[in-house]
Amino acid sequence: MYDFIKKQDKEVYTALWGEEERERDGLELIPSENYVSKAVREAQGSILTNKYSEGYPGKRYYGGQPFTDMAEVAAIERAKKLFGARFANVQPHSGANANIAMYFALLNPGDTLLGMDLSHGGHLTHGHPVTYITKFFNFVRYQMKNVETGEIDYDEMRATAKKHKPKIVLAGFSAYSRELDYQKFVDIAREVGAYSVIDIAHIAGLIAGGAAKNPFDFGFDVMTSTTHKTLRGPRGGLILIRESEEIAKKVDKAVFPGLQGGPLMHVIAAKAVAFGEALHPNFKTYTAQILKNAKAMEAVFRAGKVRMIAGGTSNHLILADVFGSLGIPGKEAEEVLDRAGITLNKNVIANDTRSPMDPSGIRFGTPAITTRGFKEKESARVAELMLMALQGRADKVILTTINSEVKALAQAHPITDSFV
Ligand SMILES: Cc1ncc(COP(=O)(O)O)c(C=O)c1O
């Protein structure tokens, strides 16, 4: 592997092999990461990177498009089938781009959007002040009513919607571990004449595999997503439109020429391959196992008396208050676990008393270890090892012993080439 790079570029070759070994020998618990198949990597590393294809299939600005059109049409048709959408745009370069394009498609500058507060689970692109989109649009927020159960304050949300008259009511999250009441979002949006949109970046795979409800069944107008998290595709974005041709046209215009230039045709081909994999019956089994594995980890954390935000999980991720329960700041917990060979991220928790750069929580999840073939038993063991590492963090011998077990677990479950 990487034979040509080896011959011409030692520095990049070293970086690539380093990452190969890191992923092979460690356990990836970042809930937004996954391992893609060799087929996805082949498509992403393919000849299609050479081609400029501004525009859409059948309506390009440059010639020579028969094969780029073929790949993009495959991606669009498969995405539509997976999510029950009438229209799909597969060109956004990332989840952030998908959200920004959706905002420019549906809002005018100065318009208001109602989205989830970042510290309660929302994403930066849902209106955090550090993002430039807040210079264009006005963002108001909703939060959880009960941090111990994860219940969203829908009454407050309705009151905020009535007061601020948003043009978009946005569901979706990066660090929330329960299911949302989709009907309430759609009803509130309809009450105030707003578009109902959901950012499914984290749970797209769960929806595609039938392990989570499909928001389109509740009448959402639009779904935005990434393609690289639970959906297990290449790094990229996606916009799905349930029904409205008018919205679909606005979205297409916003993505290109509104926001982006030439689409990444090699990535779009890889999206098509990943969507094809998600349509395979194995993907159903995979996504059901993601949830079972998260439940197995939840049980260990509960037994270890570690507080979990929202009281646990109903999806692929857990947000644990390690500072409140174990007296270990999130940053230190991330570093300790890294030394044990377990990768996850520090995360702010609702009503955090600490700073965002060194918050109280850690966030972890099961999509990647499930791709490796972990079942409940191995997942529970990983959770036990995490607690052992955190509690024994001052002891080098303990961390070294845990690291050896982590490596053995990883090597016993190699990342295979094919997942179908
Ligand atoms: C809910 C949500 N939306 C959007 C994004 C942004 O995706 P990307 O990193 O591909 O821009 C993320 C990424 O973490 C996310 O969790």
Say whether 127 sits in a helix, a strand or coil.
Answer: coil
**Rg of the chain over all Cα atoms, to the nearest angstrom:** 21
Strands 112-116 and 138-142: parallel
Q: Residue 337 — pLDDT band, cuts 50, 70, 90?
A: very high
Q: Residue 398 — pLDDT band, cuts 50, 70, 90?
A: very high
Exposure letters 370-401 (e unless 16+ CB within 10 A, then b) = bbbebeeebbbbbbbbbbbbbebbeeeeebeb
Average pLDDT, stretch 328-344? 97
Ligand 1 pocket check for 95: Cβ under 6 Å? yes
Q: Residue 227 — pLDDT band, cuts 50, 70, 90?
A: very high
Whether 145 and 151 have beta carbons less than 8 Å apart is answered as: yes
Average pLDDT, stretch 393-417? 95
Whether 172 and 164 have beta carbons less than 8 Å apart is answered as: no
Ligand 1 pocket check for 96: Cβ under 6 Å? yes
Q: What is the pLDDT of residue 297?
A: 98
Q: From CA 389, how far away is CA 415, in angstroms rounded? A: 24
Task: Reply yes or no on whether the pLDDT at 258 is more than 90.
Answer: yes
Domain spans, the chain: 41-278, 285-412
Q: From CA 140, how far away is CA 166, in angstroms rounded? A: 8
Q: Please, what is the Cα angle at 114 between 188 and 362, to 5 degrees? A: 115
pTM of this structure = 0.97
Per the prediction, the chain carries an average pLDDT of 97
Ligand 1 pocket check for 125: Cβ under 6 Å? yes
Q: Going by C-beta distance under 8 Å and a sequence separation of 6 or more, which residues neighbour residue 123?
A: 95, 99, 172, 173, 174, 199, 201
Residue-wise pLDDT tens digits, 170-188: 999 999 999 999 999 999 9
Looking at the CA of residue 126, tell me the nearest atom of ligand 1: 3
Q: Look up 226 and say whether it is catalytic.
A: yes
Instruction: Give the single-character DSSP code of 358.
Output: B
Residue whose C-alpha is closest to residue 174's, from 116, 232, 93, 220: 116
Average pLDDT, stretch 141-167? 97
Q: What is the pLDDT of residue 112?
A: 98
Q: What is the pLDDT of residue 145?
A: 95
Q: In a mutational test of the pocket of ligand 1, which residue from 93, 202, 226 has the highest number of ligand atoms less than 8 Å from its CB?
A: 226
Do 41-278 and 285-412 come out as alike in CATH topology?
no
Domain 41-278 has CATH 3.40.50.620: no
Length of the chain (residues): 420
Residue-wise pLDDT tens digits, 276-301: 999 999 999 999 999 999 999 999 99
Q: What is the pLDDT of residue 420?
A: 87
Selecting from 3.40.50.970, 3.40.1500.10, 3.90.1150.10, 3.30.300.90, what CATH number does the domain 285-412 have? Answer: 3.90.1150.10
Average pLDDT, stretch 156-167? 98
Supply φ then ψ for residue 407, to 5 degrees. -65, -40
Distance 29 CA to ligand 1 centre (A): 16
Torsional sign, CA 265, 208, 94, 28: negative
Indicate left, alpha or beta for 211 from its phi (over 0: left) and psi (-120 to 50: alpha): alpha
Q: What is the pLDDT of residue 116?
A: 95
* Nearest protein Cα to ligand 1, atom 16: 174
Structure token pair of residue 215: 């928001």
Q: In a mutational test of the pocket of ligand 1, which residue from 130, 132, 174 has the highest number of ligand atoms less than 8 Å from its CB?
A: 174
Average pLDDT, stretch 227-233? 98
Residue-wise pLDDT tens digits, 199-214: 999 999 999 999 999 9
Q: What is the pLDDT of residue 215?
A: 98
Give the C-alpha distances (Å, rounded to integers) separating 9 from 3, 5, 13, 49, 177. 10, 5, 6, 20, 43
